[in-house]
């Protein structure tokens, strides 16, 4: 039985605030306070207004394919289990290929990639790296069930065709985007990054953590 009190764990979720950057045109995070102790009321009560593609989040297949299921229909086991963190430091706007990974086999069925191309979650930067369809095909051949990346998208910022999302749909992989892997050493961890059961939604924010094995 895993004892979390005795394990080293990493929170790989960026703090959520109005400063957290989102894709241009998407809805940034906003919290409206309805009741507050500061105003002399009997409790604190607030509501939020935001994109579901916020910070660390899981894309649903319905986000990138008309036949894809919504996030509440996804198998949670994809987002919970052994994962490998692998650093692939590349220039901006690079599409990662199997060669960038050195063709080294996966150590776990979930792969989280640190590219270092989106270092400040609160500052929009369209030059981040992304995946190539070839890498997605390779990951599927390795038995991967999930791929994550430390950027806002598995595709380049200006890719309207969504080449890698399409490849991910073909192989039915799960996606984590917007994770923060600073200070996390390469290696194998337990990933916990469960999406909310937002009925009909095309994504969900997650609280993503890695537990050292």
What is the gyration radius of the CA atoms in the chain, in angstroms? 18
Give the pLDDT band (50/70/90) at residue 65: very high
Res 3: pLDDT: 67
Region 61-83 average pLDDT? 98
Helix (H) or strand (E) holding 171: helix 163-171
Helix (H) or strand (E) holding 137: helix 133-141
Nearest to 142 by CA among 172, 189, 109, 98: 109
Cα angle, residue 154 at apex, residues 50 and 213 outer, rounded to 5°: 90
Per annotation, catalytic residue among 57, 63, 100, 165:
63
Res 7: pLDDT: 72
- Domains of the chain, CATH where assigned: 4-15+52-212 (3.50.30.50)
Largest Cα separation within the chain, whole Å, is 61
Instruction: Say if strands 30-35 and 130-131 run parallel, antiparallel, or are unpaired.
Output: unpaired
Q: Is 63 a catalytic residue?
A: yes
Give the pLDDT band (50/70/90) at residue 213: confident
Give the pLDDT band (50/70/90) at residue 89: confident
- In this prediction the pTM is 0.95
Region 44-56 average pLDDT? 98
Task: Name residue 49's beta-bridge partners.
Answer: 30
Region 70-76 average pLDDT? 98
């Amino acid at each position: 039985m895993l004892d979390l009190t005795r394990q080293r764990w990493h929170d790989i979720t960026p703090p959520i605030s109005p400063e957290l950057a989102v894709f241009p045109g998407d809805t940034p995070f906003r919290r409206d306070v309805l009741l507050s102790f500061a105003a002399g009321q009997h409790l604190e009560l607030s509501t939020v207004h935001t994109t579901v593609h916020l910070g660390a989040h899981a894309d649903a297949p319905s986000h990138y394919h008309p036949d894809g299921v919504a996030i509440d229909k996804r198998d949670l086991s994809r987002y919970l289990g052994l994962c490998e963190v692998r650093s692939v430091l590349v220039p901006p706007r690079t599409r990662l290929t199997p060669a960038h990974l050195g063709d080294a086999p996966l150590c776990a069925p979930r792969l989280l990639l640190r590219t270092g191309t989106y270092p400040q979650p609160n500052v929009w930067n369209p030059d981040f790296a992304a995946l190539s369809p070839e890498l997605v095909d390779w990951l599927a051949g390795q038995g991967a069930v999930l791929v994550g990346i430390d950027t806002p998208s598995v595709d380049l910022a200006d890719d309207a065709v969504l080449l890698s999302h399409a490849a991910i749909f073909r192989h039915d992989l799960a996606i984590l985007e917007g994770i923060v892997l600073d200070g996390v050493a390469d290696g194998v961890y337990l990933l916990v990054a469960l999406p909310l059961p937002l009925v009909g939604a095309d994504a969900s924010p997650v609280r993503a953590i890695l537990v050292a094995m």
